[in-house]
Structure formats: structure tokens, C-alpha cells
Amino acid sequence: MTATDPAKAASRPVRVSIDPSIAPPGTRNFRDAGGIPADQWHADQNGETLVPTHCCFCGVQCGMYLRVDKGGKVFGVEPRNHDINRMRLCPKGINAYQQVNHPDRLTAPLMRRSRDEEFKECSWDEALDFTVSEIRRIQEAHGNDAFGLLGGASLFSEKTYLVGKFARVALKTKHVDYNGRLCMVSAAGANKLAFGIDRAGNPFSDILLTDCLLIAGSNVGECFPVMTQYLWGARDRGASLIVIDPRETAIARTADIHVALKPGTDSAFFNAVLNVVIAEGLTDEAYIAANTTGWEEVKKTVAEYPPSRSAEICGVPASQIVQVARVFAGADKAMAWHARGIEHHSQGVENCLSVINLCVATGHIGKPGAGYGTITGQGNGQGGREHGQKSDLLPGGRSITNPEHRKQICQIWGIEESELPGAGTSMMEMVWQMQRGEIRGLIGICNNPFVSLPNYAVVKDGYDTAEFHAQFDFFLSETAANAHVVFPVTTWAEDEGVMANAEARVVKHNKAQEPPAGVRTDTWVICELARRLGAGKHFDFPGSREVFEELRVASAGTVNDYYGITYDRLDETGGIVWPCPSTEHPGTPRLFEDGRTYHPDGKIHMQVVEWHPPMDAYTEEYPLSLTTGRTVAHFLSGNQTRRLGALVEQTPRPWVEVHPSHGFRNGEPVRVVTRRGSEVFPALVTEAIRPDTVFIPYHWPVPTAANALTIDALDPRSKIPEYKVCAARIEAAERVDEVPAPPTPPGREAYPEAQVSRTDPLPPTSPQGRGTAERS
């Protein structure tokens, strides 16, 4: 049969009869565009229910349905036509449901009185009482600030609010921070400085309207795959795509301009682009004059960055800098999105400011299809820092050093202002303080610093020095395996709560199943600890819903205004973008449309940006740049993904990506040496990386941890570690280091699915595992 012939088709019509009552499982609610209110979740004829929720992983926050069987257990996933992702999912999202009833789940508290002992399962009372007695002992002997709390940005916003409140009201310590400190605080700091508000300026849907899209330091295809549909949608309309990345990533492969600059030189590059924009008269002077301050100083600084100078610093042709300037500034509507690639630096804030300066100088701000955005790494990377989990912030993005803000929060919490601690230190600094014995006890909630913090030796030493360490998690993470007490808590599918995605859209996750016996929600554990510490009256929260009501009130009238967002509205709409000051307010998807920012003067404060070399100096001994990043199959420290068979099979182990000019063959063991240590990885020989740069994905623990090699240098303003560049050398080695089995509770073998091809010496065929550059 050849091409369809309409005449023939008409003579042999296909008549389909569909009886909806016998629709196969999972197809019934297929065309629902938004959420479905909980009272309308019905089981189909197979006893299967679809529960609308969102993915637990990255900042795109794709909508999905969880398939729940007759017995009330989550057993699968079904695509959901939600505004954000329109049915799309990435491999992490598709396999996420496998966490929920995974055999490795922690189902009873684990406890030991010293690190020399083995873990024993114990009752909740024992674990809570021991934790409380240790908190009391340490705080009585060394002061309240000797106990710290580290939260996470994979927690629902309600829980992040509780973490901040628990630290300041129950523990009365200033030492609280969260792992978003490793994620996007540089962008947060830059946004606050420039705009007075900390979030992306435009929704994803604006990408479809733009004429020029600049993506800086973001491997969208692997770290935020579902966002790619917006990129390609823009290109379908003829938009040009500029990608700034030392590696030729999947989105860089077909980009109009791919600038493969040397890691750690971003601000020099963007300053030079702005230099060209000014020289060629492409600035939007009217917009600048009406809406900004600081332009003259910025102009003076970028005059020092002609393309010839920056080309040398960045290792790219000067002509490319000119090209980027002309394409970006010449477009009717242009957008810049960036992620960790420019933020994970000792000059992360400056890098983000240089991108903002470029957008503002060309007038590409606050219009449909023109603006600026940060792609948040963690599911609640945005919401995680809005409600008091960060060391210097109180709920609603209030500053902990501002007397007025302190007074407002103390009134809501019903405590005296004198009782409210001041600003604490950042996550990495807290580890240093543990090393020095200033912080002697720590509770970690849903984070895994043993894999995710830089310079592992220091991290391990800090945690080992601490006298007491408790950890909340649902799998035994590498960090939890080092603790005294581990509390088994719920996965995202066993509790309800909200998260804010990269567009600052607040979405609601729904509870799909009851937690396994012996497992409690983080909310319950925090409130129970508070009760035993004598602060019970401030923590009378049966569940997330009640916490959210307090959070709404606590954020009312601030920049991060959640007051108009309610659970019922979220169920109906499928997501509302803050600020949303009243229950009638539709939310604010696009900022600065009226030209006003959130500074008191309403102007954009342009900031002077100077480039300086990365902290880790290149020498003859360490001539290469080591950069780190993610792969599509795993998420951050890998604790949630390294046990799911399909994802382990897709990317079983890390590798080191090297250019063919180094003379290695594919799969050969290569030792990567930095000033912090050395590890051996299989080589992935590819032309898709700069010759002076090597790359290692960081999801695995030692001895295959990229973060055993990275430097713990911090950005002075945002305190983000410099993950993305350190000096290294590579040399031939005997055999590769093998990935250790994930830790398991006492008496349990590691789940076999997580063992797939663990010792496979060859690089995997994942998007970055692209075989070999040898022509056979």
C-alpha cells in the first residue's frame, strides 16, 4: 500500500466504536487540563484511581497523575495535561513513583548512641526522646547556637516554613540553612539587588513568544528536559537560540550560536557583549533613562571589557561575542534564562548581574516574550527560600536583620522580639563551624551533604566532629548512614503541600497513598520535637493545610505574597503565580510590566560587575578546568534516584568527559587529580567538550564523587560554593573506582535493581555517554 488515496479511503472507511465504560486503566481523565478537586477522584472499573499531583524532582514541576490501585497503593504514573508540561515527562518523573513502595524505604527510626555502634531500629518515642535530650545537653553546655538545623528545597513550602520556625522558636538557634544554598542563591542575590524581588521575571510560556533566546550555563536538555519543548517551540516560530556552555549539550548541538567558553569566565563574556551593544548603539536608552539607576557606572566598567580582551579570558573568538551582541540586542523580543552553570561560582552573583545588565540595557524586560529568568534546580528551589528556611530570611522573604520585619513575624508567632535569633551562617560555613566545634549538634532534613557539598574530606570531618547528628529521610542516604538518629519520613506522594516552580508558580501536590506503617510526615516529626522541647503551643499543626494557613498570613503584605493562594484555588486552577495579595487576585505571571520593580524607588538598580579569576589557580601542575553537573537520569545527590532500576540502568555510574586531544581511549581509567584529592573514572572521549576542560557528573558518593575533588570556595555575597570550576590534571590509571552500593538499614540487603551493571567499566550510553571519538 502506498500513500493514502482519499478516494480509496472513503471506499474502505474505518469505523471505530468506543465504549467509554470499558476504557482501559489510566485513560479516563486523559483530557483534563487542570487539576481535579479531590472529591471528584473516582476509581474506574478496575478499582484504579488517578491522583493529580506533580513531580518531586526539578524546578519545572511537571503535572502528573499517580495511579493508585484498589489497595490504595501507588503503582504507576499517567501523563497529565497540566499547563506547565502539557503531558510531557522526563525519565526521572516517569520513574519517580517507584520510590513510594520501594523495598529500601526506612520504616522504623534508627538509633545509636555513638558512631562506633551499629544502627538499631527503635520506637518513635525512644528516637524523639534521645534527640531532645541531646539537644538540651548541647544547648545547656554550649549555648543555643551550638545546635544547627539544615533543611532542604525538596520539602513542601509548608515544611520549609516549619523548619525556619522550629529553628528560631523551638531550638532558639540562629543556625538554620538549607540546601538551596548550593542551588540558586546567587541568582536570588542578584535578583534582589537588581529588582528587589527574588524570582524569574517571566513564565515559561513567554519563551514561545520570543525572537531570541539566550540560555547561559544550563544543560536544559538533561536537567530540565521538559522545558525543552518551550525552546523548540520558540525555534519553530523562527527564534534564534544562543547557548553559553563549555560543553556541546543537547540544546547547544543545534543552537544558532554555541559559545563554548572556559568555565569561570561568564561575567567577562557578558561584560564584553554589553560593551559591543553599547559600541554599536543597540542599547534602549529611553528604557534605561526611565527605569534604571547605576547605568553610567556600568557603562564605565564594561568599557574595560572590549571583545578582544574577553575573547582571551573566555577562550572564544571575539567575533562570537560581537555576534551574540548583535543577535540578542537586535531582536525585537529577547529572553535570557540561566541556571547553575553561571551561579556555582565564587562570582556567581556577579555573573547573574552581568546577564541582568545585558537584558536591562537592551530593554528586554517585563514584556511578553522579553525578560529574564532563573531555572530553579530543586522542585521547591524557589519556594524553599521564601518562608524562613534560609539563614538570613524570615517568612515572606523578610530580612532577619530588619527590626520592622522581625516585629511583624514575632507578632504572628506570638513570641518576644528579644527571643528571635539573628542571622546565621550558610550551609558550607556551618560545616566549617562543626569542624571547629562551634556547632556541636545538627538535625538534617531531607538533604545529603556527603554527596552534594564540595570538598568531601572537610564535610566528613565536620559531621564526624559533631557530637550529635539526626537526619530525616525516606531512604538511608550516605549522610543519614553517618548519623546517630534517622527518622523515617514520607515521600512526596504520601503527604500534601505546595511547591513553587521556576516561574514562581505555586502548585499543589496531593496525597496519593497512606505512608507505610512506622513512617510519619516531616510535619509531625518537627511538631513532636517542638512539643517535647516545650514549644508545643507554637506548633499545633495537624497537617500541611493548617501550616499553609499560617504561612499565607505570615507572607501577607510582603513581596512574596501568598495570601490570596488557598488549597481550594490551587485545586481549581492548577497553579497560581505569587505575588497574589487577595483571594480574587489571578496571580502575577509576568513581573515589571508597568516598569516598576520592588525597590522603594521602583527602579532597576544596575550593578557594576568586575570579573576575577576563579579561586582555584591554574598552574603547570593543575592546568585543566574541572567542571561538574548533572545527568538526565539522576537527581542531585542521587539519594532518590540511585535505587530506581530503570534510572540506574540508564546511567549506572559516573565518568570523566575528556577531549580526544588528551590521547585517552574510550572507557580507559583516567585519574582526575585536584588539590583536594584524586579519583579514577572511565574516560568518555568526546569532541563535545573544550580541550582545556573535563567534566564529571556529581550524583554519586565517594569513591566516585565529583565533590571529593571540588573546591569549597564560596561567593562572598551568596555563599554558594564554586562547584563549576577548579584546577585539575588528568593522568592514566590502572583501574576505575567502583560505585559503592547504596546504604541500607540494618538486616536488609541492598535492593538488587540498584546493583545493575555497577562495575561496568564502560561509560553508559546516556545523553552524555556518547561512545567514542575513535574512528574504527
Partner 1 sequence: MMGRTIFIDPGRCIGCQACVSACRECDSHRGKSMIHLDYTEPGMSVASLPSVCMHCEDPVAPCAEVCPADAILVTADGVVQQADTTRCIGCSNCVNACPFGIPKIDLQAKLQMKCNLCYDRTAYGLAPMCATVCPTGALFYGTLEELQAERPGVQVADSFVFGDVVVQTGVAMVVPADKVQWPVPGGLPVVEINGRDVR
Q: Site residues (CB under 8 A) for partner 1?
A: 1-4, 9-10, 12-18, 23-27, 30, 76-77, 79, 85, 87-91, 93-95, 221-222, 225-229, 232, 236, 248-251, 253-254, 632-633, 646, 650, 660, 666, 685-688, 765-768, 770-774
Q: Minimum distance from CB of 521 to partner 1 (Å)? A: 27
Nearer to partner 1 (CB atom), residue 253 or residue 300: 253
- Which of 774, 745, 560 lies closest to 109, judged by CA? 745
Q: How many alpha carbons fall within 13 Å on the CB side of residue 528?
A: 16
Return the number of other C-beta atoms located less than 10 Å from residue 619's C-beta.
10
Q: 516: which DSSP letter? A: P
> Bridge partners of 335?
213, 371
Measured between alpha carbons, how far is 672 from 484 in angstroms, rounded to an integer?
33
Max intra-chain CA distance, the chain = 90
Q: Minimum distance from CB of 513 to partner 1 (Å)? A: 18
Tell me the three state secondary structure of residue 280: coil
Nearer to partner 1 (CB atom), residue 19 or residue 296: 19
Q: Minimum distance from CB of 768 to partner 1 (Å)? A: 8
Nearer to partner 1 (CB atom), residue 16 or residue 517: 16
Q: 170: which DSSP letter? A: I
Pair 67, 76: CB distance under 8 Å = yes
First to last CA, the chain: 40
Measured between alpha carbons, how far is 686 from 662 in angstroms, rounded to an integer?
11
Measured between alpha carbons, how far is 120 from 141 in angstroms, rounded to an integer?
28
Nearer to partner 1 (CB atom), residue 238 or residue 414: 238
Contacts of 749 (CB under 8 A, 6+ apart): none
Q: Minimum distance from CB of 245 to partner 1 (Å)? A: 11
Pair 216, 337: CB distance under 8 Å = yes
Q: Minimum distance from CB of 330 to partner 1 (Å)? A: 23
Q: 680: which DSSP letter? A: E
Q: Minimum distance from CB of 684 to partner 1 (Å)? A: 8
Measured between alpha carbons, how far is 220 from 218 in angstroms, rounded to an integer?
5
Pair 654, 98: CB distance under 8 Å = no
Q: Minimum distance from CB of 346 to partner 1 (Å)? A: 29
- Which of 172, 355, 351 lies closest to 264, judged by CA? 351
Could you tell me the three cell numbers for 36? 481535579
Measured between alpha carbons, how far is 470 from 115 in angstroms, rounded to an integer?
12
Nearer to partner 1 (CB atom), residue 199 or residue 643: 643
Q: Minimum distance from CB of 57 to partner 1 (Å)? A: 13
Q: Minimum distance from CB of 650 to partner 1 (Å)? A: 6
Nearer to partner 1 (CB atom), residue 746 or residue 771: 771
Distance of CA 129 to CAs 140, 464, 757, Å?
16, 22, 42
In 454-561, which residue ranges form alpha helices assigned H by DSSP? 456-465, 522-532, 544-555
Nearer to partner 1 (CB atom), residue 396 or residue 764: 764
Contacts of 164 (CB under 8 A, 6+ apart): 151, 176, 387, 388, 389, 390, 393, 394, 395
Nearer to partner 1 (CB atom), residue 95 or residue 678: 95
Q: Minimum distance from CB of 250 to partner 1 (Å)? A: 4
Nearer to partner 1 (CB atom), residue 521 or residue 650: 650
Nearer to partner 1 (CB atom), residue 224 or residue 456: 224
Cell 555502634 found at: 117
Nearer to partner 1 (CB atom), residue 7 or residue 517: 7
Q: Minimum distance from CB of 311 to partner 1 (Å)? A: 25
